[in-house]
Amino acid sequence: MTDNVQALTSRFVFVKTFRSGDVIKKAGTLLAFDGSEEIRTPYDNCLLVMPNLRPMRGHTAVRLARSI
């Protein structure tokens, strides 16, 4: 686990339906919007762990990891 993405607003929304175990190949890929802020992958081959499809403000929306 490298990062925990928390919903900072009540308007957090993923750009599509993601599942745990999805790997996003390119760094900088748009994952979600938290209000007007874009949430993007920080590195290539980013593994999504337990995305919460309806995160509440202050709760974890998704965890990010790298395969080793």
Residue range 25-52, pLDDT digits in tens:
999 999 999 999 999 999 999 999 999 9
With a CB cutoff of 8 Å and minimum separation 6, the contacts of 2 are 42, 43, 64, 65, 66
Banded pLDDT at 67 (limits 50, 70, 90): confident
End-to-end CA distance of the chain: give it in Å, rounded. Answer: 11
Classify the C-alpha dihedral 17-20-23-24 as positive or negative.
Answer: positive
Enclosing domain of residue 57 = 3-65
The domain total for the chain is 1
CATH number of 49's domain: 2.40.50
* Cα–Cα dist 47/1, whole Å: 9
